[in-house]
Amino acid sequence: MGKTRCLCHGVLQNAIFLEPVAVLPLDGKRERATIPSPMDEEPPPNNLNELLDRFDQAAEKSEKVSLDEIMDAVGRRSFGPLLLLAGLIISSPGVGDIPGVPTVLGLFVLLIAFQLLRGSDHFWLPQWLLNRSVSRETLKKMTSSKWVRKPAKFVDRLLKERLEILIGSKGTYAIAIVSSVMSLAMPLTELVPLSANGVGAGIVAFGVALIARDGLMALIGYVIAAATVTLATFGLM
């Protein structure tokens, strides 16, 4: 009896450290899906260059890098890094100009912004979107480009905590709303040269503002967003 009690106690004690598992319906079947523990996630990046380094690390793992793997690298529970992820890809020369990329990433931004406005504590994305991938070569080319690294270093040197009213809880909701509007306009930007890159730059500014607690960057994001949408509208006329 004593041995049985010890054995049960040991099993229960070890069970505490098992990863939580959810059973989710899929095509009429029931499958086991592991829910990532917050303790297993990478802390969010602190600036642009750190985010680019995370991209580099993700690219080392396979020839094709999925959105799911990139999200693992930057973290899944913070709005700022995910905005920064999308904005950086959209605004990058060569990558953001690929047909369909701005629209897919616009949907990505729309889904996470909507969930933030609903008060979700983590972000869910459909599997077909998470499975979208980019080649290692393309990702490496983006992260090593002087047109990306040099501006990133310049912006990182300017970051500091200020104008916190623009990045508090209400400010974050405002950023989510504006980001949603920009993401809805993303398909149209594919028809106007360079307008998608401009929208991406605005989303980058919002993402940097949230991770660095820099309200000035949020203000710059609003200006870029307004200017880009206005230019894109005139370009379609």
Rounded distance between C-alpha atoms, residue 49 and residue 70, angstroms: 15
Q: Quick one: pLDDT band at residue 166, thresholds 50, 70, 90?
A: very high
Q: What is the pLDDT of residue 92?
A: 76
The token duo for 68 is 């799911």
Residue 38 has pLDDT above 80, yes or no: no
Identity of the residue numbered 207: G
Rounded distance between C-alpha atoms, residue 91 and residue 109, angstroms: 14
Residue 150 has pLDDT above 70, yes or no: yes
The token duo for 128 is 């077909």
**Taking residues 173-188, what's their average pLDDT?**
88
Angle at 119 between CA 90 and CA 100, to 5 degrees: 20
Residue 235 has pLDDT above 50, yes or no: yes
In which element (H, E) is residue 24 found?
strand 21-26
The token duo for 89 is 């890809």
Query: Coil, strand or helix: which one is 135?
Result: strand
pLDDT tens digits, one per residue of 193-223 = 777 788 888 999 999 999 889 999 999 999 9
CA atoms within 13 A on the CB side of 70: 30
Q: Where are the domains of the chain?
A: 2-34, 43-236
Task: Please give the C-alpha separations between residue 76 and each of 40, 138, 216, in angstroms, as whole numbers.
Answer: 11, 23, 25
The token duo for 166 is 């623009």
Q: Quick one: pLDDT band at residue 26, thresholds 50, 70, 90?
A: very low
In which element (H, E) is residue 64 found?
strand 64-66
